[in-house]
């Protein structure tokens, strides 16, 4: 069923009422174009969200971190996690990135993955796909990844990681992960240096969300502007071999948004 531009805006306004799960709402995940204006649903939504943000409206409301358990799982970096090389899902892709010592460029060193945001397993909040650390900038990145076969909307990825930024406790990240950096990378954080937290999405060139972000027509313009407004950096990886193989010589191709 096709919707008009007004229908799309009305559905978005309704979805914003459940701001914590806005990224998961139907209207954010629609593909295709409106029936009356021939505009992509994602661009209509991105444009409306930009208007709200430019008017200093907080589209996410008040989101409070709820997890008081340890973020880091001890078995994540000790080689005991099983990896199915034939599985194209993003969770498997992230594991290959981590255990393949993938060169993550500006994203830095992978320090954890599938970082839980819930207090309990069925708490309703998701998991951060990838946590990295850039030692030159003393900066942690929380990263949403999408696999090469992803058909999801880039708009969802942008809003998802921006929402997760509200859900994570930076002070606890600063407390827990210096030990991980020391144990696995022999890297000591400089004392009394401010540590920041940035957000990013990591996509494969040729995937649906990457094509949307990189589009030259009006599909990508508002998406890029929204990502920039929400301070979500976009990284594009070259397409992997099939089945996906992590190679040390692969590098991040480009940082399209600062």
Cβ proximity of 118 and 124 under 8 Å: yes
Cβ proximity of 201 and 161 under 8 Å: yes
Burial class (CB within 10 angstroms; exposed 0-12, middle 13-18, buried 19+) of 95: buried
Q: Note the pLDDT tens digit of each residue in 110-120.
A: 888 888 887 65
Give the pLDDT of residue 115. Answer: 87
Cβ proximity of 5 and 41 under 8 Å: no
**What ranges in 20-116 are assigned the alpha helix state H?**
41-54, 90-99
First-last CA distance in the chain: 36
Q: Note the pLDDT tens digit of each residue in 53-93.
A: 998 777 877 788 877 778 877 766 655 555 454 555 555 66
Give the pLDDT of residue 96. Answer: 60
Give the pLDDT of residue 248. Answer: 36
**Sites in the chain below the pLDDT cut of 70:** 75-103, 119-124, 217, 239-258
Architecture of domain 73-255: 3-Layer(aba) Sandwich (3.40)
Give the pLDDT of residue 14. Answer: 95
Cβ proximity of 12 and 27 under 8 Å: yes
Give the pLDDT of residue 8. Answer: 96
Torsion (CA) 254, 221, 158, 25 in degrees, nearest 10:
-150
Cβ proximity of 40 and 219 under 8 Å: yes
Give the pLDDT of residue 121. Answer: 56
Torsion (CA) 147, 195, 160, 54 in degrees, nearest 10:
-130
Give the pLDDT of residue 254. Answer: 39
For strand 254-255 and strand 232-237, is the pairing parallel, antiparallel, or unpaired? antiparallel
Q: What is the DSSP letter of 165?
A: H
Locate the domains of the chain by residue range: 73-255
Give the pLDDT of residue 163. Answer: 93
């Amino acid at each position: 069923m096709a919707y008009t531009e007004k229908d799309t805006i009305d559905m978005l306004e309704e979805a914003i009422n459940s701001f914590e799960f806005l990224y998961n709402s139907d209207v954010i995940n629609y593909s295709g174009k409106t029936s009356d204006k021939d505009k992509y649903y994602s661009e209509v939504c991105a444009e409306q969200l930009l208007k709200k943000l430019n008017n200093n409206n907080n589209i996410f409301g008040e989101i409070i971190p709820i997890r008081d358990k340890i973020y880091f799982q001890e078995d994540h970096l000790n080689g005991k996690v099983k990896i199915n090389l034939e599985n194209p899902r993003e969770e498997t892709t992230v594991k290959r990135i981590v255990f393949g010592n993938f060169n993550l460029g500006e994203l830095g060193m992978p320090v954890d993955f599938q970082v839980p945001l819930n207090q309990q397993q069925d708490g309703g909040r998701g998991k951060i796909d990838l946590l990295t650390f850039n030692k030159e900038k003393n900066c942690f990145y929380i990263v949403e990844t999408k696999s090469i076969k992803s058909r999801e909307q880039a708009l969802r990825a942008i809003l998802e990681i921006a929402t997760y930024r509200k859900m994570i406790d930076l002070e606890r990240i600063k407390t827990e992960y210096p030990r991980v950096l020391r144990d696995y990378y022999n890297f000591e954080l400089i004392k009394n240096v401010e540590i920041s937290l940035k957000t990013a999405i990591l996509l494969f060139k040729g995937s649906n969300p990457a094509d949307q972000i990189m589009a030259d027509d009006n599909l990508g313009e508002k998406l890029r502007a929204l990502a920039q407004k929400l301070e979500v950096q976009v990284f594009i990886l070259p397409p992997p071999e099939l089945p996906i193989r992590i190679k040390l010589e692969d590098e991040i191709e480009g940082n399209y948004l600062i």
